[in-house]
Amino acid sequence: MDLSTKSVPPALGEFRISAVLGHGGSGVVYDATWGPRRVALKVLHEGLMGTARVRSQFLSEARVLQTITHPSVVKVLAVGELPDGRPYLAMERLDGETLASVLARGALPLASALTLFDELCEAVGALHTQGLVHRDLKPENVYIVDGVHAVLLDFGIAKELAAPASTTTVDGGVRGTPAYMAPERFFGQPAGIATDLYELAVTLYAMLAGRLPWDDLADPEARLSPQPLVDHAAVPAELDVEIRRALSTRAQNRPASAQSLRDAVRLASGREVATPTAAETARMRPAATEAATQPTVTAARPWFAGRDKTTDRGKTPLAWAPTEPAAGQSPPVRRRWPMIAVALGLVMIGGGLAWWQL
């Protein structure tokens, strides 16, 4: 269905509306104009207006996001309530394409992938510093601006670290995308810094290998097994080790922070670890043009959005590197996933939607 053809109000408060960009479990996103600026306007669903907790959480998290001014995090321009009381979040519109669109054309060169990964780690670190976890890091939620810079998008399911532990959305679904979620999320553990780092590592793997470390429609027990390495001649063995460490099934074995993950990847790839300079910190990405090109929602489901198993036929499988149990330790017992994991998989937010998805 073409969402842009749905009936839309001509205006919402001071925002002039031109089209519906997307729907999510908690709200709708409009293509809007605010004064001279074109924005993406996220508005809470009317059906959730009676839930004071949801309204309060929407505004609280949006205001925290508004304080983040990192060049690799999409800028929140305004937060408030419409005349009818519905809270909204207005963000800048960007000129470029999603990382998912880029990866649909194939894996990235090592240097390009590492540059984008650097920026994503810094963006996620900025969120964590402000007490937020993203919970849905994936190529569809990364925008590539000017062909070279990564900008983190889609905070519709971001969560304050200090908020009560929860893994479900207001409509009962699990927050996140199954193909990128850390194993502990399937067992009901709350999202945190470690789960964001896991999703960052999956995204780096996807950039380097041109595919996911696993088939996201396969038996989810595969997440509890040793992770595959990137089978790519240009990827140093040391980098393979760091990716696998960040993909550890035990959260405590992953790096402690986004900066630690970034620095480990830099060292493993032969890059110098340096404190960002003032110029780097102040680097501004190109301003969005008034006629910014917008990503298109298509019916196709490429590998990064969730595919069927036949998609990979004919490709050389990636190597697996099983770890040996420590001396005196029994091999790990392959646990059966409870039926709740299957149920969660049916209600989790799938990939394949564009960045405006809530």
Q: What is the mean pLDDT of residues 233-245?
A: 90
Rounded to a whole number of angstroms, the CA Rg of the chain reads 20
pLDDT score for 25:
67
Of the two residues 284 and 10, the one the predictor is more confident about is 10
Quick one: DSSP state of residue 318? P
Q: Among 31, 118, 136, 154, which one carries the catalytic annotation?
A: 136
Residue type, 19: A
Q: Both tokens of residue 159? A: 């969560």
> Among 45-59, 132-146, 172-186, 226-240, where is mean pLDDT lowest?
172-186
Range picked from 48-57, 203-212, 274-283 for highest mean pLDDT: 203-212
- Can you give the pLDDT at residue 155? 64
First-to-last alpha carbon distance for the chain, in angstroms, is 17
For 297-344, how does the pLDDT look when each residue is reduced to its tens digit (9 = 90+)? Answer: 222 334 444 333 322 323 333 332 333 334 444 334 344 444 334 434
Across the range 124-147, mean pLDDT stands at: 91
Structural domains of the chain sorted by starting position, each given as residue range(s) with its CATH number in brackets: 3-92 (3.30.200.20), 96-283+335-347 (1.10.510.10)
Q: Taking phi first (over 0 means left), then psi (-120 to 50 degrees means alpha), and beta for anything else, what does residue 174 get? A: beta
How many C-beta atoms surround the C-beta of residue 166 within 10 A? Answer: 13
136 carries an active-site annotation:
yes
Q: Tell the residue number behind the tokens 């060169």, with chain if given.
A: 109
Element (H, E) at 12: strand 11-12
Contact 10, 26 (CB under 8 A): no
**Averaged pLDDT score across all residues of the chain:** 72
Distance separating alpha carbons of residues 147 and 205, to the nearest angstrom? 20
The tokens for 240 are 């393979």
Average pLDDT over residues 226-243: 82
Q: How far is 101 from 39, CA to CA, in rounded Å?
A: 21
Quote the tokens at residue 309: 């198993």
* Phi, psi torsion values for 311, nearest 5 degrees: -60, -30
pLDDT tens readout for residues 154-182: 765 455 544 444 333 333 345 678 888 88
Distance in angstroms (rounded) separating the CA atoms of residues 284 and 70:
9
Sign of the CA dihedral 36, 42, 47, 49? negative
Distance CA 322, CA 210 (A): 22
Three-state SS letters, 52-121: HHHHHHHHHHHHHHHCCCCCCECCEEEEEECCCCCEEEEEECCCEEEHHHHHCCCCCCHHHHHHHHHHHH
Q: Percent of the chain beyond pLDDT 90?
A: 37
